Amino acid sequence: MAEVALRQVVKRFDDVEAVRSIDLDIPDNEFVVLVGPSGCGKSTTLRMIAGLEEVTSGDIWIGGEVVNDLPPKDRDIAMVFQNYALYPHMTAFENMSFGLKLRKFPKAEIKQRVEHAARILDITELLDRRPKALSGGQRQRVAMGRAIVRNPKVFLFDEPLSNLDAKLRVQMRTEIKRVHQKVKTTTVYVTHDQIEAMTLADRVVVMHHGRIEQIGTPQELYHHPKTRFVAGFIGSPAMNFIPCRLEHTGAGLSVRISDAIVLPVPPDHSARYQPVVGKEFILGLRPEHITEPRSNGRVSAGGEFSAMLDVVEPMGMETMVFFTINGTEICSRVEPSSAVAPGGKMVLHANMDHMHLIDSSTGVVI
């Protein structure tokens, strides 16, 4: 049990700056997910916390102690790898107990700890098997078991579900969450899958180009993204980004998307946007906020427009429809019963209560 802190941590590989001065505080027992596209520096950050990569500059604190110069074994951390990294010549039991044996724990305690972890992970039956005789999901459980038995200060997960098939991934995701609820330990989890990040995390850290774009709870990131990158990265299907112009209309403000489509800005947003009226922006709206008028709950006045559908994707409980406005493809989420065939016209309503106005040059959400 320990808090983890990163202070102006930089990692440079020759000329490439993989991590650019990041600051992060992770309180005791928190489950933090580092998420971002490939090459954003999330895995490097995790490996620096683990001690597998040296820090170029800055400090890493674990449990109130700077660990920059401590080898991995002295940091009291446990790590679960993407490809499990189980020792192929050892049984599940031996794999899980290896770290304890090296630390010269008494045999009885090793046995008790491994059996306890095996019970938590439901792998008691598999303890005598070698990794070769285990399925992907079972191997990942053993890898987690190897981390749990150590009872470390911090758990580190490096894309642990990427090698599993889609169904197993969902199952193991729940499993990891369940284990964290049982074994309360500070956890840093790296993934490129934003759904994994949203479902598992107490707080999500979105990284991009070696920097932290935003830190927040999944809900905060989803509803109040601070940048276009976060807005586009979190949520599936991704947020629509539509070029627009902010204008005065009568008493209030509105955004003009095309000559025909002018959407009213809700009065409670007006004060914020008042100073920037007349400029070009990007309107950010999630697919579920562009829908048929009756399912948008409280229908604000205006906000309706009609669109010619290009593609219709039935998903079962909902249907995605795609159409184009001024060359921008837009996705909207409608009820299966109200979707029309591709090529047909459909009246849609933009719920502007959830609008985001993004500065197109800086990418910052206003």
Q: Mask of contacts with other proteins, 148-187, x by CB under 8 A?
A: --x-------------------------------------
DSSP 60: E
Number of residues lying near other proteins (CB under 8 A): 23
Which residue, 99 or 302, is less far from other proteins as judged by CB? 99
Categorise residue 4: left if φ over 0, alpha if ψ from -120 to 50, beta otherwise.
beta
Q: How far is the CB of 81 from other proteins (least distance, A)?
A: 4
Contact 213, 206 (CB under 8 A): yes
DSSP string computed for 257-281 = SSSS-EEEPPHHHHHHHGGGTT-EE
DSSP 19: E
Strand order in the sheet with 345-350: 290-291, 345-350, 304-314, 319-325, 328-334
Q: How far is the CB of 135 from other proteins (least distance, A)?
A: 18
81 binds other proteins (CB under 8 A): yes
Structure tokens at 193: 């899958």
Contact 101, 72 (CB under 8 A): no
Size of the chain, expressed as the number of residues it contains: 366
Q: Mask of contacts with other proteins, 103-142, x by CB under 8 A?
A: x---------------------------------------
322 binds other proteins (CB under 8 A): no
Structure tokens at 355: 């609008």
89 binds other proteins (CB under 8 A): yes
Interface with other proteins (CB under 8 A), residue from 98, 177, 279, 318: 98
Which residues, numbered 186-225, are part of the site for other proteins (CB under 8 A)?
none
Q: How far is the CB of 159 from other proteins (least distance, A)?
A: 11
Which residue, 134 or 334, is less far from other proteins as judged by CB? 134
Beta bridge mates, 281: 244
Which residue, 77 or 285, is less far from other proteins as judged by CB? 77
Which residues, numbered 270-309, are part of the site for other proteins (CB under 8 A)?
none
Angstrom distance (rounded) from CA 302 to CA 290:
13
Angstrom distance (rounded) from CA 252 to CA 266:
8
Which residue, 72 or 363, is less far from other proteins as judged by CB? 72
CA proximity to 189, closest of 175, 174, 200: 200
Which residues, numbered 35-64, are part of the site for other proteins (CB under 8 A)?
50-52
Residue 233 burial (10 A CB sphere; 0-12, 13-18, 19+): buried
Q: How far is the CB of 220 from other proteins (least distance, A)?
A: 32
Q: How far is the CB of 3 from other proteins (least distance, A)?
A: 20
Residue found under tokens 């990265």: 233
Residues that bind other proteins (CB under 8 A): 50-52, 71-73, 77-79, 81-83, 85-89, 98-99, 102-103, 146, 150
